[in-house]
Chains A and B, each alone.
Chain A
Amino acid sequence: DSGVTQTPKHLITATGQRVTLRCSPRSGDLSVYWYQQSLDQGLQFLIQYYNGEERAKGNILERFSAQQFPDLHSELNLSSLELGDSALYFCASSLMPGQDPQETQYFGPGTRLLVL
Chain B
Amino acid sequence: GNSVTQMEGPVTLSEEAFLTINCTYTATGYPSLFWYVQYPGEGLQLLLKATKADDKGSNKGFEATYRKETTSFHLEKGSVQVSDSAVYFCALSGTYSGNTPLVFGKGTRLSVIA
- A76→B36 CA distance, assembly (Å): 23
Query: Is B46's CB under 8 angstroms from A106's CB?
Result: yes
Fill in one digit per residue for A56-98: 1 if any B CB lies within 8 Å of its CB, else 0.
1010000000000000000000000000000000101000001
Q: Does A101 contact B (CB under 8 A)?
A: yes
Give the number of chain B interface residues (Cβ < 8 Å): 27
Contacting chain A: which of B14-22, B77-85, B103-111? Answer: B103-111
**Cross-chain contact B42 with A45 (CB below 8 angstroms):** no
B73 to chain A, nearest CB (A): 14
Once bound together, how far apart are the Cα atoms of A48 and B44, in whole Å? 17
B64 to A: closest C-beta gap in Å: 15
Chain B residues whose C-beta falls within 8 Å of the C-beta of A109 in the assembled complex: 42-43
Query: Is B61 on the interface with A (CB-CB < 8 A)?
Result: no
Known: A2-B45, A102-B32, A102-B51. A43 touches B99 (CB 8 A): no
- CB neighbors of A among B32-53 (8 A): 32, 34, 36, 42-46, 49, 51
Number of A-B contacts (CB under 8 A): 66
Q: How far is the CA of A32 from the CA of B54 in the complex (A)?
A: 30
**How many residues of chain A get a CB closer than 8 Å to chain B's CBs?**
27
Q: Which of B30, B46, B93, B104 interacts with A43 by CB under 8 Å? A: B104
Q: How far is the CA of A106 from the CA of B49 in the complex (A)?
A: 13
Interface check A53, CB cutoff 8 A? no
> For B107, what are the chain A residues with a Cβ–Cβ distance below 8 Å?
42-43
Residues of B within 8 A of A107 (CB): 36, 43-45
Contact A98 B100 (CB under 8 A): yes
- Contact check, A99 vs B98: say whether CB atoms are below 8 A apart: yes
A42–chain B nearest beta-carbon distance, Å: 5
Nearest CB of chain A from residue B28's CB, rounded to whole Å? 11
Among A4, A56, A106, A110, which residue has its beta carbon within 8 angstroms of that of B101? Answer: A56
5 nearest interchain CB pairs?
A101-B94, A45-B101, A43-B104, A107-B44, A109-B43
**Footprint of A on B, CB under 8 Å?**
29-32, 34, 36, 42-46, 49, 51, 89, 93-95, 98-107
